[in-house]
Copies of this chain bind each other. A is one copy, B any other.
Amino acid sequence: MRDQLTTTSYAVLAQVAVRPWSAYELAEQRVRYFRYVWPRAESAIYREVKRLAAMGLLEGRKEYTGKRPRTIYSITADGKEELREWLGTPISPFSMEFEAMLRIFVAPLGTRDDLLGTLEQVRADAHEMLRFAGEVKQEFIDGINVTQDQAYLRALAVDFFISLLRTVEAWSQRTLAEIETWDDLMPSEEKNERGLQTIRQLPVRTPGESLKDVSKPPKSQMRPRS
C-alpha cells in the first residue's frame, strides 16, 4: 500500500482533528468546510479514512443502527503529530480551473450569444457562492456557527472568499458590459485598441528593462549599497 500522504489526506485529518465524525458526516460536511478550497468527491473521503485508519493516524469505532454498521473516526496521537509536521512543510501553490477562459480564447468560432452566456454563468456561479458566503457570515454574526470558537481563524477564510468572489463578480460584469458593446466577435482595429487601452491601465508593474541584458547587469548595480 502506498504510504505517502496527499493533501487530501491532510484535509481529512484536519477535519477529524476538530472532533470525531462518521465517514458519511465527513463527506457531507466537507461542503461547509473545504469544498471550495479542496474539492473532492465524497467517495474519495471513504477511501481516505480507511487508509488513514490502516496507517494508525485515525481510529475507527464501529456502531450499529439495526444491522447497518457505520464507523466513527477520531484522530490519534500519531495523526496529530503528522498534521503538526505537515504545517512546517511548503504548500502546494494556489491553482484554479476556469473553463470560461478557455472559451474566451476561441470565442470567435462561436456566437456572441455563446460568449455572453458563458460570462453570465460565471457571474451566476460567483453570485451563488457569495450567497453561501453571506450565510456563513450571518451564522458568525448570530454566534451559531459550528466553528464559532474559531472565529478568529475562520474570519481569515471568509475574508479571502468574499474578496475573491467579489473580484470575479466585478470582472464578469465589466467583461459582459464590454462584450455587449461589440457587434460581433471578429478581431478589429477598434476592438484591439480598446483592449490595449485596458491592458495599459492594469495595475501591475511591467519589467523595467528588456530581458536581453539580464545576464550582464551594469557594474554600478553590483556595488554594495553605501
Interface residues of A (CB under 8 A from B): 7, 10-11, 14, 17, 33-34, 36-39, 80, 83-84, 86-88, 90-111, 114-115, 117-118, 121-122, 125-126, 130-131, 133-135, 137-138, 140-141, 149-160, 162-168, 170-171, 174-175, 178, 187-188, 191-192, 194-196, 198-200, 202-207
| A-B contacts besides A39-B95, A101-B160, A159-B175, 9 pairs, CB < 8 Å | A11-B102, A14-B105, A83-B106, A87-B115, A133-B204, A134-B206, A150-B187, A156-B195, A162-B204
| Cβ-neighbour of A164 out of B88, B105, B167 (below 8 A) | B167
**Known contacts A105-B157, A163-B171; is-contact A114 B100 (Cβ 8 Å):** no
**Known contacts A102-B37, A122-B94; is-contact A178 B156 (Cβ 8 Å):** yes
- CB neighbours of A38 from chain B (8 A): 97-99, 101-102
- Whether B203 lies near A162 (C-beta < 8 A) is yes
Q: How many copies does the complex hold?
A: 2
State the main secondary structure of chain A at its contact with B.
helix
Q: How far is the CA of A128 from the CA of B175 in the complex (A)?
A: 25
CB nearest neighbor in B for A113: B88
